[in-house]
Amino acid sequence: MSSAFNGIADFFSNLFGPVVDVLGVVLLYFHSTLGAPWWLSIALLTVVVRTLLFPLTVKQVKSMRAMQDLRPEMEKIRAQYKDNRQRQQEKIMELYQERKINPLGGCLPILVQMPIFIGMFYVIRHFGGYSLGGRTIPPEYPSFHEGGILWFQNLSVADPYHILPILSALTMLAATEITAHNVEPQQRWLMRLLPIGITVFLFNFPAGLFVYWITSNLVTLTQNYLIYYHGPGRRPPGSESGGLFSRFGGSGNGGNGAAPPENRQQANGGSGETASQASADGAAAQAAKAAKRKRRKKKKK
């Protein structure tokens, strides 16, 4: 059993070998050349990786926005060809091609980050050593065992107090919360539950890997804020009308409670009629007063 497990680990180590080599070289540069401690070197490496992936993140957001804007037309196609699934899919694909939208564009950053995360796992294993299936591999850099900070000094073993997994879940939840406001309610709850599932899976992973993961979450939080509040993810004022956001606001005008144009016209028309009637009543009252004054003058004479 242990030999099979070791075989699987060695297979993935060889599969992601190029990624492991590149990450290892950059990590050594920060530690040996720049003199940064190991934990800070991991954080700096994470920032570099996420910065290089930032254009893909922007592309992902643009793809998500395009898919959201396309949803009403897709619903019309599904309703029109509800009894012909093949024709329905053909029309939807034609719509994608017409608008030049890649439905898988939103998955690209995740697909790119997975090999990096796995590669980082193997870098930490090689640098700090590990025990697997009765086989003990000595650390390639013994200082990695004292390269942490605060309560997690050994980066090659799990956090003894399990604080890092909790911080990982909280930072991931904060990062996804900005995105969660821009998706369907069902997807929103799935995104909120995802950090819990990932944290349970990574609970006993080495502390060095959580340094990478938490730093990545903080970078994602910053990038999401910039994208969704100051970048391509930001919707122009009033553009939510009749779209996805109207479902969250409870109104067809972005949830701001504003009346539709026809209602406003009726309201304005009604107020105009009321104003005209009030003006007429005021003129009649003035005329009545003038007639009374004339009658009084005649009586005095």
CB atoms within 10 A of CB 194: 14
Q: What is the structure's pLDDT at 40?
A: 96
Please, are residues 159 and 165 in contact by the beta-carbon 8 Å criterion? yes
Query: Where residue 250 falls among pLDDT bands split at 50, 70, 90?
Result: very low
Domain boundaries, the chain: 2-249
Q: What is the DSSP string of 73-100?
A: HHHHHHHHTTT-HHHHHHHHHHHHHHHT
Contacts of 138 (CB under 8 A, 6+ apart): 129
Query: In this structure, what token pair is assigned to residue 240?
Result: 């939510």
Q: How many residues does the chain have?
A: 301
33-39 contact pairs (CB < 8 A, 24+) = 37/147, 37/149, 38/127, 38/143, 38/144, 38/147, 38/148, 38/155, 38/208, 39/147, 39/148, 39/149, 39/155, 39/208, 39/211
Question: Does 162 or 110 have the greater pLDDT score?
Answer: 162
Paired strand residues for 136: 131
Residue 288: what pLDDT? Answer: 62
CA atoms within 13 A on the CB side of 89: 2
Please state the rounded mean pLDDT for residues 93-108: 75
Tens of pLDDT, residues 10-64: 677 778 888 999 999 999 999 999 999 999 999 999 999 999 988 888 887 777 7
Asked whether 98 and 49 are in contact (CB, 8 A), the reply is no
The answer to whether the pTM exceeds 0.85 is no
Q: CA torsion sign, 258 to 61 to 187 to 94?
A: positive
Residue 263: is its pLDDT beyond 80? no
CA trace torsion 110, 114, 120, 123 (10° rounding): -160
| Of the candidates 216, 206, 292, 193, the residue with the CA atom closest to the CA atom of residue 48 | 216
